[in-house]
């Protein structure tokens, strides 16, 4: 798969790769070949 941001930076990811998409990311995610995606969404809780 290829992940590209609005500035034109991109990276190609292959089986076994790990990556983090930062909060506020804007860009595209292109699936080049069939793959399985496993993901986690983390939102920190507000501390009192």
Say how many domains are in the chain.
1
Beta-carbon contacts of 31 under 8 Å, excluding residues fewer than 6 positions away, are 1
Identify each DSSP E strand in 1-48 by its residue range. 2-5, 10-12, 27-30
Beta-carbon contacts of 27 under 8 Å, excluding residues fewer than 6 positions away, are 3, 4, 5, 6
pTM for this entry? 0.67
Give per-residue pLDDT as tens, 15-24.
889 999 888 9
Give per-residue pLDDT as tens, 1-43.
999 999 999 999 998 899 998 889 999 999 998 888 888 888 8
Domain that holds residue 27: 1-48
């Amino acid at each position: 798969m290829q992940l590209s941001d609005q500035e034109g930076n991109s990276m190609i990811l292959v089986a076994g790769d790990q990556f983090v998409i930062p909060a506020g990311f804007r860009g595209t995610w292109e699936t080049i070949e069939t793959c399985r995606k496993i993901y986690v969404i983390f939102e920190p809780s507000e501390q009192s």
